[in-house]
């Protein structure tokens, strides 16, 4: 037996050996699909196929790294195979070929925040009211259009007569114009521009078709229309395409994934072979029986049932608490108990939930009980202000046409260059069809700029020096030089001493990322480093050696596994979500059921489903019944536990007010609020609020509101605010809400 066939079951071996033509591998959760893909690569190389003729695509950097490492381990030449995410592959192609579309190779990749800022600018120029059209809503509509491969002109034709979508069409057109002027693409453009490149340049398409004679696609159920088109274009010449996926794990319909792609694969590729992998190597039989009993209620699926030879007879625990505090208490107690009794580490546990709102009480309870945890899917590392500042310097050095980056860093650190001066530079740039950077270099020619010319010139000279430095030095050295030369750490310390340590640590991480990139990149370039930074995801940083409980959404957990899993908020209105419950849409309910299935199959040894009879969400007390999916589970697999009523629901009529503790307002200091353990919660350390109860504040989404109460919540304050009739009373964690006091 060939070495690459060792330790494979019969269906896995069949999938590895079937190398010519179209193949659909329906791989159930935990069925060893990554092993099949890597061994299939080894089989092709054993047949004499050049590693340069293989392409393997997946969806996350973490999955791509794991696949690349496994391929390199099982076969010589495996390190030369192009293993990549869709976006990384397309960026790599565009860095070589995008000049055919009128861009230069040093193009910038804008993230969602950057895109929203430009869309906001476009709306202002088009006199479109932000109160009637939210910039993020327009950004989402444009993103959906790009996912469906709908161009600006097509979108205008389709929606020009519709008031709302007609305005979106105007923004879409101006937005794309501004991207082109800045030599920039957004996240969605990465794939759409590659498809456009292939359509407009048949010779370029043929070059990559000839190179990639064998194509493998992981997680095929998650592909959208654009990715589907890209794959079909690349596979058209040879037809040797193997897609691996599981229709039961298609959970990204809300962001464009089309389950029809996997369900209709045999129609798209006539004569395609289908192989089902149903033996699960991850979970116990009880967990799999639970998953099977839920997912079998879906009608839009290919029939299959997971099975295992694994042992384990521990039932699924369903816990129903009186409140969400009871639920959190139960979860924390079980983690502590299992850690002690079974000698487990904290990283063996994951708490999964449908929405981040469910995590608030759990995270607070972890903090109060000294239980180390990490929330995934919160702020992406690249979105921290200090990281965006230094990244903007790097982007401007790499692409001087990048207007957005120029605008971000021209006064970072403060250089005394006011908005009036920047406005004159922008006006000059528009009049002479220049980038902001090139216009700034000609500031001596701009009327009324004599006083500010020295500051502007000093800034452009600084960028010029960094640019020259970048040509002969590593990315790591450039990052360190920027931070040092602009005195950025001193600036951070002077602006906010309380947050300096954390921000400085984030800069250290950025320096380390640049060093790691330099050490591992085959050809270290600033463009490629920026691409990696732009395409990174929070979940890529999950480190098994990081001994903390993982808190994440069900959407973020796919591809991961843990010995013990809690699915919190197992209630109608949460899982399944409110919209799926009330809309009557079978399609939406089936996607929610698939989401539940994904969560269940993350557990290896023990699964908990938890709910609360009452929970506080967005300032409202909700009373949800248990999830309807609970009734679909074979009841012999369940053990039920009820709340021991250790927690008392907070008495809203007597909520204590605990505003910022400042010496100048001692009359505002309050006694500590009692928590569920009947112990006092101290006011958060290292948190200073600029507002107090009774103050008027501004929220970026809800507008003006009156602060009713400020309560201690462990590491942060919980702020209760009364807005106008449209929004009513809402609660926020102060650290995330970014509230600003309005002087009255």
Catalytic residues: 33-34, 218-219, 249, 602
For the chain, give percent helix, strand, coil, nearest 5.
50, 15, 35
Tokens representing residue 572 in the block:
């109608």
- Whether the CB-CB separation of 211 and 234 falls below 8 Å is answered with no
Element (DSSP H or E) covering residue 695: none
Cα–Cα distance measured from residue 31 to residue 18, given in angstroms and rounded to the nearest whole number: 18
Radius of gyration of the chain (CA): 28
Give the DSSP letter string of 416-439. Answer: ---HHHHHHHHHHHHHTT--HHHH
* Cα gap 492→499, rounded to integer Å: 8
**β-strands 349-353, 549-553 pairing:** parallel
- Give the Cα separation of 620 and 311 in Å (integer): 44
Both tokens assigned to 450:
């004599």
Take residue 296 and report the two structure tokens written for it: 């079998």
The closest alpha carbon to 435, from 465, 396, 468, 408, belongs to 396
CA diameter of the chain: 82
- Nearest alpha carbon to residue 149 among 112, 114, 189, 117: 189
Positive or negative torsion for Cα 110, 113, 114, 115: positive
CA-to-CA dists, residue 280 to 30, 217, 247, 546, 636, angstroms: 5, 21, 16, 27, 21
Burial label, 22 (beta-carbon count in 10 A; 0-12, 13-18, 19+): buried
- What's the CA gap between 458 and 39, in Å, rounded? 57
Q: What DSSP character marks residue 573?
A: B
* 107: helix, strand or coil: coil
Q: Do 699 and 722 meet the contact criterion of CB atoms below 8 Å apart?
A: no
Residue 56 exposed, middle or buried by CB count within 10 Å (0-12, 13-18, 19+): buried
CB-based contacts of 13, cutoff 8 Å, min separation 6: 5
Tokens of 202: 């048949």
Q: What is the DSSP string of 6-47?
A: TT--HHHHHHHH--SS-EEEEE-TTS-HHHHHHHHHHHHHHT
- Bridge partner list, 23: 242, 273
Residue whose C-alpha is closest to residue 12's, from 42, 50, 54 = 42
Which two structure tokens, joined as six digits, stand for 251?
């959970």
Q: What is the 3-state secondary structure (H, E, C) of 242-287?
A: EEEECHHHCCCHHHCCCCHHHHCHHHHCCCCEEEEECECCCCCHHH
Rounded Cα distance, 256 and 651, in Å: 43
Task: Tell which residue, 121, 154, 345, 148, has the closest CA to residue 260.
Answer: 148
C-alpha to C-alpha distance for 377 and 538, rounded to whole angstroms: 6
Show the beta-strand stretches assigned E in 593-702: 603-617, 620-622, 638-642, 696-699
Distance CA 194, CA 230 (A): 8
């Amino acid at each position: 037996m060939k070495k690459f066939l060792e330790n494979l079951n019969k269906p896995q071996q069949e999938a590895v050996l079937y190398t010519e033509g179209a193949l659909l591998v329906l791989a159930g959760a935990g069925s060893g699909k990554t092993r099949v893909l890597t061994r299939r690569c080894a089989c092709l190389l054993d047949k004499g196929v050049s590693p340069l003729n293989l392409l393997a695509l997946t969806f996350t950097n973490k999955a791509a790294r794991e696949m690349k490492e496994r391929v390199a381990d099982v076969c010589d030449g495996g390190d030369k195979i192009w293993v990549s995410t869709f976006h990384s592959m397309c960026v790599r192609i565009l860095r070589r070929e995008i000049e055919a579309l009128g861009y230069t190779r040093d193009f910038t990749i804008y993230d969602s925040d950057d895109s929203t800022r430009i869309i906001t600018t476009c709306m202002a120029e088009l006199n479109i009211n932000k109160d009637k059209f939210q910039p993020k809503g327009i950004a989402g509509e444009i993103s959906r259009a790009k996912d469906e491969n709908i161009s600006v002109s097509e979108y205008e034709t389709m929606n020009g007569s519709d008031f709302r979508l007609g305005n979106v069409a105007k923004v879409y057109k101006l937005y794309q114009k501004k991207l082109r002027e800045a030599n920039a693409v957004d996240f969605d453009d990465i794939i759409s521009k590659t498809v456009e490149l292939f359509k407009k340049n048949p010779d370029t398409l043929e070059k990559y078709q000839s190179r990639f004679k064998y194509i493998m696609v992981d997680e095929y159920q998650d592909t959208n229309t654009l990715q589907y088109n890209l794959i079909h274009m690349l596979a058209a010449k040879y037809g040797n395409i193997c897609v691996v996926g599981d229709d039961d794990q298609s959970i990204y319909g809300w962001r464009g994934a089309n389950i029809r792609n996997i369900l209709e694969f045999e129609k798209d590729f006539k004569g395609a072979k289908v192989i089902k992998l149903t033996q699960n190597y991850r979970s116990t039989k009880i967990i799999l029986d639970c998953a099977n009993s839920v997912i079998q209620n879906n009608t839009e699926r290919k029939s299959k049932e997971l099975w295992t030879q694994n042992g384990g007879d521990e039932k699924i625990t369903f816990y129903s608490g009186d409140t969400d505090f009871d639920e959190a208490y139960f979860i924390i107690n079980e983690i502590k108990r299992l850690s002690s009794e079974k000698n487990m580490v904290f990283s063996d546990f994951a708490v999964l939930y449908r929405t981040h709102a469910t995590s608030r009480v759990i995270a607070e309870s972890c903090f109060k009980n000294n239980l180390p945890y990490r929330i995934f899917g919160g702020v992406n590392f690249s979105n921290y202000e200090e990281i965006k500042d230094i990244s903007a310097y790097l982007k401007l050095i790499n692409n001087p046409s990048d207007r957005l980056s120029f605008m971000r860093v021209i006064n970072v650190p403060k250089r005394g260059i006011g908005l009036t001066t920047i406005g004159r530079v922008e006006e000059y740039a528009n009049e002479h069809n220049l980038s902001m950077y090139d216009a700034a270099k000609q500031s001596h020619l701009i009327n009324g700029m004599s006083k500010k010319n020295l500051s502007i010139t000093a800034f452009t000279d600084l960028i010029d020096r960094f640019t020259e430095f970048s040509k002969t030095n590593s990315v790591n050295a450039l990052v360190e030089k920027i931070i040092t030369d602009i005195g950025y750490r001193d600036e951070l310390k002077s602006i906010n001493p309380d947050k300096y340590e954390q921000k400085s640590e984030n800069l250290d991480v950025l320096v380390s990322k640049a060093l790691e990139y330099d050490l591992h990149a085959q050809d270290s370039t600033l463009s490629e480093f920026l691409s990696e930074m732009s395409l990174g995801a929070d979940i890529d940083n999950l480190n098994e050696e990081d001994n903390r409980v993982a808190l994440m959404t069900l959407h973020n957990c796919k591809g991961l596994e843990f010995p013990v899993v809690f699915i919190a908020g197992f209630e109608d209105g949460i899982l399944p979500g409110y919209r799926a419950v009330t809309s009557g849409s079978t399609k939406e309910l089936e996607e929610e059921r698939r989401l539940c299935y994904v969560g269940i199959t993350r557990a290896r040894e023990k699964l908990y489903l938890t709910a609360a009879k009452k929970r506080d969400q967005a300032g409202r007390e909700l009373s949800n019944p248990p999830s309807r999916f609970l009734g679909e589970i074979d009841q012999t697999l369940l053990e039920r536990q009820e709340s021991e009523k250790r927690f008392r629901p907070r008495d809203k009529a007597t909520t204590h007010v605990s505003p910022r503790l400042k010496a100048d307002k001692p009359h505002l200091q309050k006694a500590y609020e009692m928590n569920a353990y009947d112990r006092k919660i101290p006011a958060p350390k290292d948190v200073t609020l600029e507002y107090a109860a009774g103050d008027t504040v501004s929220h970026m989404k809800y507008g003006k509101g009156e602060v009713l109460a400020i309560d201690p919540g462990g590491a942060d304050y919980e702020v209760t605010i009364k807005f106008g009739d449209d929004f009513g009373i809402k609660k926020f964690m102060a650290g995330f809400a970014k509230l600003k006091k309005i002087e009255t």
